[in-house]
Chain A
């Protein structure tokens, strides 16, 4: 059974349909890249998958025992956050918040999980540093560690490389792909950065107010849409 299944999905704001004809599914172990220009409906779909928005038509169902609490999310950073006074440890730990229900304090298990994720992302040494003193790439790693703390089944990443330079971006994608291959973590990554994002992905969902393509990556690269998109990009 698929982790996420979307049938005939559509979303609307104030009566205006923003995206429609959504038919796709995400299975365990997939690495799905959602492509599309700005305004194509990507963020809306992300909100829908996170249950922050209900579809105006059709359904999005979670299957295979997947619950909202098990989805790790890497949202786009707000300017306010870059300047936030919090230690790296505090930020990463906050990912464990909903795993514990009403318990007011973090347990030893929580702290262990946070430490493991920080190790995985190579930021253990930054544990006591202030978030606002980190570089963009380091901040993204911290947020990724937080997302991992929130879930071990599915990671939803919204433009993870936004604002990062090419070297850092490449490193970030490497880490993400490693999680997918070695840990079997299902990844859904929203991007409008073609080249980096596609490598290592298993499936592609291309949006432009409607679903232009859904299928395996190889199929996408061979499709007219895919060719046009990648071809256009190369010409820029």
Chain B
């Protein structure tokens, strides 16, 4: 009897220890760029929720501001929950940039409870034209809330929209930090040039392609992109779906589509486990390629200095292969 009692004690202690160790290891500090205590330097504090606005702001303002991104590199954007730290960061911000869709409902609640007199706030979805999320044939809809139509949040995927957004952010920054307005303006102009070139490159690929159909073995965050360039698509799940289990019927449908329309490339998005892409490619001989929606980047990519431009440029090549 003693042996078993001791055995249970050790198992319980061992498990407890393991849990504690993991908790401590995970608390290795918050990721993200920027000095939250930078007021001493006189830099304004800008907080962006996700990668695209963070990157745009970085391009416009560079080192003149203290910039923070709330979503940690490497995390899944759709399961983001603001921590108490994050809320304090927002509270101390001079400029706050968020997206504004279904995932950002928490933002309104927080801003309501704060004194935002001194804060410049901008929501990406306020500055561009929006599309309502749609489902196309073959999609696994899962448990979508069918009463309320939701707007598709991935507004930045179209370089045209990116232009508008960059302009809007620039104006807000200039208002918040008039001292550096001139520098901001210069950077903005240069960046918009780059975005225009990006836009032309995509337009070119789309126009000269053999086909205009995209197949996604994942959810589909590129609505604004495909609308801009006249492309059609089939995907496993709609834009902000949190579905993870692919239904057999959906996979079968996509396999059939690829075969029917002779599609050479099946796309997956960032942070995907690529299982569905593998399955479809195995059954059809297609190649799987990444189309990065820039929603968030991996830790490695972040540290290597990935930007919206660099990621989208890679997308150009993959798109070219897909469209022929």
- Asked whether A13 is an interface residue with its Cβ less than 8 Å from the other chain, the reply is yes
Q: List 3 A-B contacts (CB under 8 A).
A: A13-B1, A14-B1, A14-B2
Q: In the complex, A14 Cα to B4 Cα: how many Å?
A: 12
Residues from chain B with a CB closer than 8 A to the CB of A13 are 1
Taking CB as reference atom, which chain B residue is nearest A14? B1
Contacts of A14 in B (CB 8 A): 1-2
* Closest chain B CB from A54 CB (angstroms): 16
CB distance from A44 to the nearest CB of B (A): 14
**A13's closest neighbor in chain B, by CB?**
B1
User: Bound state CA distance, A13 and B1, in angstroms?
Assistant: 8
**Interface positions of A (Cβ within 8 A of B):** 13-14
Residues of chain A lying within 8 A (CB to CB) of residue B2? 14
From B1, which residue of chain A is reached at the shortest CB distance?
A14
B5 to chain A, nearest CB (A): 10
Q: In the docked arrangement, what's the CA distance between A13 and B3, Å?
A: 12
Q: CB-nearest residue of chain A relative to B2?
A: A14
Q: How many residues on chain B are close to A (CB under 8 Å)?
A: 2
Chain B 1-32: CB-based contact to A (< 8 A → 1; otherwise 0): 11000000000000000000000000000000
How many Å from the CB of A155 to the closest CB on chain B?
A: 31
A13 to B2, CA, bound (A): 10
B residues within 8 Å of A by Cβ?
A: 1-2
Kindly state the separation between the CA atoms of A13 and B4 in the bound complex, as whole angstroms: 14
B1 contacts across to A, CB distance below 8 A: 13-14
Top-3 shortest CB links A-B: A14-B1, A14-B2, A13-B1
Q: How far is the CA of A160 from the CA of B263 in the complex (A)?
A: 77
- Bound complex: CA of A153 vs CA of B100, how far in Å? 86
In the bound complex, how far is the Cα of B54 from the Cα of A215, in angstroms? 95
Q: How far is the CB of B7 from chain A (nearest CB, A)?
A: 15
The CA of A14 and the CA of B2, in the complex, are separated in Å by 7
Q: In whole angstroms, how far apart are the Cα atoms of A70 and B2 in the complex?
A: 33
Task: Give the distance in Å from the alpha carbon of A75 to the alpha carbon of B62 in the complex.
Answer: 83
- Nearest chain A CB to B1's CB is how many angstroms away? 5
Considering only CB atoms, which chain A residue lies closest to B3 in the complex? A14
Q: How far is the CA of A207 from the CA of B306 in the complex (A)?
A: 84
Give the CA-CA distance A133 to B1 in the complex, in Å. 37
Min CB–CB distance A191 → chain B (angstroms):
27
In angstroms, Cα B152 to Cα A54, docked, is 75
A14→B1 CA distance, assembly (Å): 7
Distance between B129 CB and nearest chain A CB, rounded to angstroms: 68
Instruction: Give the residue name and chain of the B residue nearest to A15 (CB).
Output: B2
Q: Closest approach, in angstroms, between the C-beta of B154 and any C-beta of chain A?
A: 58
User: In whole Å, how far is B145's beta carbon from the nearest beta carbon of chain A?
Assistant: 48
Q: How far is the CA of A231 from the CA of B86 in the complex (A)?
A: 83
Complex: how many Å from CA A179 to CA B2? 42
CB distance from A96 to the nearest CB of B (A): 34
Task: With both chains docked as a complex, state the minimum distance between the C-beta of A229 and any C-beta of chain B, in angstroms.
Answer: 32
Nearest CB of chain B from residue A17's CB, rounded to whole Å: 15
Q: How far is the CB of B95 from chain A (nearest CB, A)?
A: 69
- Closest chain-B Cβ to A80's Cβ sits at a distance in Å of 21
A79 to chain B, nearest CB (A): 23
B210 to chain A, nearest CB (A): 66
Give A16 Cβ to nearest chain B Cβ, in Å: 10
**How many whole Å from B67's CB to the nearest CB in chain A?**
66
Distance between Cα atoms of A22 and B256 in the complex (Å): 82
What separation, in Å, do the CA atoms of A170 and B2 have in the docked complex?
A: 42
Nearest CB of A to B213, in Å: 59
Complex CA gap A41/B2 in Å reads 20
A51 to B1, CA, bound (A): 19
> How close is A52's CB to chain B, nearest CB, in angstroms?
16
